Chain A
Amino acid sequence: MPHLTHTTLPNGLTVLLREAHSAPVISWWLAYRVGSRNEPTGLTGISHWVEHMMFKGTERFPAGALDREIDRAGGQWNAFTSMDATKYFETLPADKIDIAMQAEADRMTQALFDADETESERTVIISERQGAENQPTFWLQEEVRGAAFRVHGYHHEIIGDETDLRSMTRADLYAHYRRHYQPANAAVIAVGAFDTAEMLAKIEELYGAIESGAAPDLFSRAEPEPAGERRVTVERPGKTAFFELCHRIPAADHEDWFKLRLLDAILSGSSGASDNKTSRLYQALVKTEIAAGVGAWLTPTVDPYLYSIIVTLREGRQPEEAEAALLEEIARLQSEGVSEAELNKARKQTRAAFAYSTESVTEQAYGLAQSFILGDVTWFDRYADRLMAVSADDVLEVAERYLVPRSRVVGILHPTDPEQEAAGT
């Protein structure tokens, strides 16, 4: 990887810069260490709502002004709230990047949170949640997470509970913003066609004067160790059943996370590089016509989270069949381990996926922003090498350690008869 410049301004702002001159564009990111995991009951969804309010203007850039400026420049901009972070980005032609740098510096401290705009956005966000509710799998995911985490903030959806979205006030939102949006809790990241020394000078000029207190104490409650399998059942109108199998796994900074990543590549092939038709789970569930599809998710997170496998059942097949097939595959993995050929395949897939993911400056910058959030700015850069170092014994070891009943959460979505549902019976 090209050289990464990593420095910290006196006000605590982390700076990560990487030159990439393959195209005349720059991706500019601002990542804050606050996400839905840091939200107490009553304020669920507040990080996401604050993210929305950041697009509602400052004195210098009134609402809509930046939409126009960035589109005029041919750029893209957006923001994402995750469980662990809130990230903002602009990718622009290199000669227009000043817009992004000035905008993010300004709205770090000067967002207005206009009262009328806040109320207008309340209904927009409730609409966003209601749109998600139209997908049956949203209900399943919400219940599974709720069952998996009784104490930790990972237990609620990023969008928040509707009751909180209806009761939160402008004062709540503004307090959350002022507390978490400050240099010592943030990083700026740039990847693209720039000169590092010039870029650093601009950053110091625009961001160096922003006052910062100490990094905020983030609200966080540790989840107790799981003491047994948990099961939830959801019923929604429709005709398609889903089955979800989750296991508690460690955070992304734990060496075992990378071993689990290889395990996942072998089970589901979810490297992002292929459609996985030779993976163990496809062969066991789709090829046997139990399922129409199967996918697995291993999200790198700050705190221990879940390794999740979701099965879309074919008509006439039962969730219990999916469960039996999945548990059989896990047992086979634990008893037989993996072959060197499977491991080599997973490694090559990893190399290819990494090559694809580094072809755009936006994706490279995203990787660095994620690294900052995970507490190790080299996490993304060392990702491929750490995966290459995983052995067959390592995969077996984590399969035995984590894919066990004690840390398991099972979710089943049963479709209900739409006609009866409509009739209220």
Chain B
Amino acid sequence: MTDLQTSIPNESNIIRAELDNGITLLVYENPAVQSVNVMGSLQAGSIYEKPEQSGLASLVAGALMTGTKGADFDAIHGALEDVGADLGFRGHVHKVGFSGKALAEDLSLLLDTAGDALRNPIFPAEHIERLRGERLTWLQYSSFDTRYRAAKAMREALYPDTHPYHYGTYGDQDSITKITDDNLREFHAGHFGPRGMILVIVGAVEASQAVQLAADAFGDWGNSEQPAVLQAHEPQNVAGGLRPTVVVPGKTQSDIHMGIVGPARKADDYLAAQLANSVLGEFGMMGRIGKSVREEKGLAYYAYSRLGGGHGPDPWTISAGVNPDNVELAIASIMDEIERLTSATVTDEDLADNQSYFTGRMPLRLESNEGIASHIHSMESFELGLNYLADYERMIYRITKDDLLRAAQNYLRQEGMVVAVAGPDQAAS
């Protein structure tokens, strides 16, 4: 049997190298599998785009594999699909992320394809138009999706239009329509580069070989145009207490999306807030919210809370899908649970349950290549140190009931909570 304590990724078994051009490379050998997983990120997310070009960074990320100086669309995808490999790029707020997987024998193809796509895209007009059409269709479909509409309304009410979190990474119909091919090329030329890039490789590969293959694919890349890293600051002058309502005709159910500005991943009280969130809407059958809204009152199939915790002040959210007649009752029940969490410490049992949950789930999260790569990427991206996972249990058990209460009180202020609802028009029914 494999012992978790000896196999947990840490600074002694993760090979970390910094290439001269600023790329940080991390490799973890996992000989128990036949495949290899690649995961990475660059500082080129939507935070670097202008509001009127909302969706540009994501469109650039989506277009990286539509053609390069040396390979057209069919050649790029044909090479990967011929061997059952998979590679994709996705735009986030702070970063563009990428991930891929292949049989171990095809790692060099995966890295070379990623390197070519990142370094040499040509953004062919016909493919950009096709991608634009696909994005517009998705946005159009989403405009009739109550979950999407509630989340969007919450985000736009919580963050002012001067804040990058106000905008969705996919942009909107107007902005996507106006973005030009030149905009894509300029954004790529001005933001994509090796400085700050993270590349994680996990799987059935020798570390030395993986380092060499990565160096071959990325080692001579440079871009003097890369801008300074942008941070997302706490939003100022947040009105709070807003109740945006979106009518979506023809729907049966209403979606509730409640949110408040939460901690960044590197905040001192992030782990305490994470434990508090688990008590509120995660542990067991969706925490205290699930117990009240689903189990006791039978109002919803799902009702849970989530803590964002990224590079900036992401929202702390609560979501539920309920019959339109039950919207107010569900909101009141959730508010009751927030009041309870912020007015008294959790029980010893609550704390012990959630500490055990957080530490006990680690073996499952580290079972797959993808899970391991994701954790290693997070350790590097959030500067947590490569012994973070090894120290994790100690950190979790250091947290007290008072720490949870302080974290909950620090963020879950009911007067600042935005409550967005999207669903059918009740007045018309």
A interface, CB within 8 angstroms of B: 21-25, 55, 63-64, 67-68, 71-76, 91-94, 96, 119-128, 130-131, 133-136, 193, 236-240, 269, 271, 273-279, 286-287, 289, 292-293, 312-315, 345, 348-353, 355-356, 359-361, 416, 418-419, 421-422, 424
Are A238 and B253 in contact (CB-based, < 8 A)? no
Stretch with Cβ within 8 A of A (4 or more), from B78-86, B305-313, B399-407? B78-86
Q: Which residues of B contact A361 (CB under 8 A)?
A: 367
Are B137 and A55 in contact (CB-based, < 8 A)? no
Query: Bound complex: CA of A119 vs CA of B298, how far in Å?
Result: 8
Which parts of B1-43 form the interface with A (CB within 8 Å)? 1-4, 7, 32-35
Are B34 and A355 in contact (CB-based, < 8 A)? yes
A315-B360 contact given A23-B2, A238-B141, CB 8 Å threshold: no
Are A74 and B143 in contact (CB-based, < 8 A)? no
B379 contacts the other chain (Cβ, under 8 Å)? no
Q: Which residues of A contact B300 (CB under 8 A)?
A: 124, 127
B296 contacts the other chain (Cβ, under 8 Å)? yes
Q: Which residues of A contact B138 (CB under 8 A)?
A: 292
Are A134 and B284 in contact (CB-based, < 8 A)? no
- Among A22, A24, A348, the residue within 8 A (CB) of B33 is A22
A23-B301 contact given A274-B81, A421-B249, CB 8 Å threshold: no
A94-B285 contact given A25-B364, A120-B295, CB 8 Å threshold: no
Smallest CB separation, B330 vs chain A (Å): 10
Query: Bound complex: CA of A74 vs CA of B392, how far in Å?
Result: 14
A273-B86 contact given A22-B33, A278-B77, A352-B102, CB 8 Å threshold: yes
Are A351 and B103 in contact (CB-based, < 8 A)? yes
Are A68 and B367 in contact (CB-based, < 8 A)? no
Are B77 and A124 in contact (CB-based, < 8 A)? no
A421-B250 contact given A75-B360, A315-B140, CB 8 Å threshold: yes
CB-based closest 7 A-B pairs: A74-B360, A352-B84, A237-B250, A67-B284, A22-B32, A292-B137, A120-B298
Smallest CB separation, A49 vs chain B (Å): 12
Q: Which residues of B contact A133 (CB under 8 A)?
A: 251-253
Sample 16 A-B pairs with CB under 8 A, ordered by A number. A23-B4, A63-B295, A68-B284, A92-B364, A93-B363, A119-B298, A120-B295, A130-B321, A237-B249, A274-B84, A278-B78, A289-B130, A348-B82, A352-B35, A353-B84, A418-B249
Are B133 and A131 in contact (CB-based, < 8 A)? no
Query: Bound complex: CA of A236 vs CA of B248, how far in Å?
Result: 12
Interface extent on B, as a size class?
Answer: 35 or more
A71-B134 contact given A125-B301, A418-B250, CB 8 Å threshold: no
Smallest CB separation, A78 vs chain B (Å): 11
Known contacts A76-B364, A237-B250, A292-B138; can you find 9 more A-B pairs with CB under 8 A?
A23-B2, A64-B284, A72-B356, A237-B249, A240-B137, A312-B141, A348-B84, A352-B35, A355-B33
Are B144 and A239 in contact (CB-based, < 8 A)? yes
Which parts of B363-377 form the interface with A (CB within 8 Å)? 363-364, 366-369
- Among A287, A293, A314, A352, the residue within 8 A (CB) of B83 is A352
Are B368 and A360 in contact (CB-based, < 8 A)? yes
Are B103 and A55 in contact (CB-based, < 8 A)? no
Which of A134, A355, A360, A424 counts the most chain B CB atoms within 10 A?
Answer: A134
Query: Bound complex: CA of A122 vs CA of B301, how far in Å?
Result: 10
Smallest CB separation, A59 vs chain B (Å): 18
Q: Mark B268-312, 1 if CB is under 8 A from A, else 0.
A: 000000000000000111000001001111111110000000000
- Among A292, A345, A356, the residue within 8 A (CB) of B81 is A345
B interface, CB within 8 angstroms of A: 1-4, 7, 32-35, 73-74, 77-78, 80-86, 88, 101-103, 129-130, 133-134, 136-138, 140-141, 143-147, 247-253, 255, 283-285, 291, 294-302, 321-323, 353, 356-357, 359-364, 366-369, 425, 428
Q: Which residues of B contact A135 (CB under 8 A)?
A: 145
Query: Bound complex: CA of A68 vs CA of B250, how far in Å?
Result: 38
- Among B140, B255, B364, the residue within 8 A (CB) of A74 is B364
Smallest CB separation, B132 vs chain A (Å): 10
Are A348 and B83 in contact (CB-based, < 8 A)? yes
Query: Bound complex: CA of A348 vs CA of B35, how far in Å?
Result: 13
A356-B83 contact given A131-B253, A421-B249, CB 8 Å threshold: no
A238-B144 contact given A55-B285, A76-B364, CB 8 Å threshold: yes
Q: Which residues of A contact B81 (CB under 8 A)?
A: 269, 274-279, 345, 349
CB-nearest residue of chain B to A416 = B250
Q: Which residues of B contact A240 (CB under 8 A)?
A: 137, 140-141, 144
Are A74 and B85 in contact (CB-based, < 8 A)? no
Smallest CB separation, B346 vs chain A (Å): 14
Are B86 and A131 in contact (CB-based, < 8 A)? no
- Among B134, B359, B368, the residue within 8 A (CB) of A293 is B134
Q: Which residues of A contact B247 (CB under 8 A)?
A: 422
Are A275 and B251 in contact (CB-based, < 8 A)? no
Query: Bound complex: CA of A315 vs CA of B143, how far in Å?
Result: 14
Which of A124, A125, A128 counts the most chain B CB atoms within 10 A?
Answer: A124
Are B359 and A74 in contact (CB-based, < 8 A)? yes
Smallest CB separation, B22 vs chain A (Å): 29
A239-B140 contact given A276-B81, A422-B425, CB 8 Å threshold: yes
Are B35 and A355 in contact (CB-based, < 8 A)? yes
- Among B133, B144, B296, B353, the residue within 8 A (CB) of A120 is B296
Q: Which residues of B contact A134 (CB under 8 A)?
A: 145-147, 251-253, 255, 321
Are B32 and A23 in contact (CB-based, < 8 A)? yes
Are A273 and B84 in contact (CB-based, < 8 A)? yes
- Among A74, A121, A126, A271, the residue within 8 A (CB) of B361 is A74
Q: Which residues of B contact A278 (CB under 8 A)?
A: 74, 77-78, 81
- Among B84, B144, B253, B321, the residue within 8 A (CB) of A237 is B144
Are A274 and B298 in contact (CB-based, < 8 A)? no
Q: Which residues of B contact A55 (CB under 8 A)?
A: 285
- Among B84, B140, B146, B251, the residue within 8 A (CB) of A351 is B84
Are A72 and B82 in contact (CB-based, < 8 A)? no
Are A74 and B78 in contact (CB-based, < 8 A)? no
A124-B359 contact given A130-B323, A356-B35, CB 8 Å threshold: no
Query: Bound complex: CA of A361 vs CA of B33, how far in Å?
Result: 12
Smallest CB separation, A122 vs chain B (Å): 7
Q: Which residues of A contact B295 (CB under 8 A)?
A: 63-64, 120
- Among B134, B299, B322, B357, the residue within 8 A (CB) of A292 is B134
Query: Bound complex: CA of A397 vs CA of B35, how far in Å?
Result: 34
Are B32 and A315 in contact (CB-based, < 8 A)? no
Are A75 and B2 in contact (CB-based, < 8 A)? no
Smallest CB separation, B72 vs chain A (Å): 12
CB-nearest residue of chain A to B285 = A67
Q: Which residues of A contact B366 (CB under 8 A)?
A: 23
Are A127 and B137 in contact (CB-based, < 8 A)? no
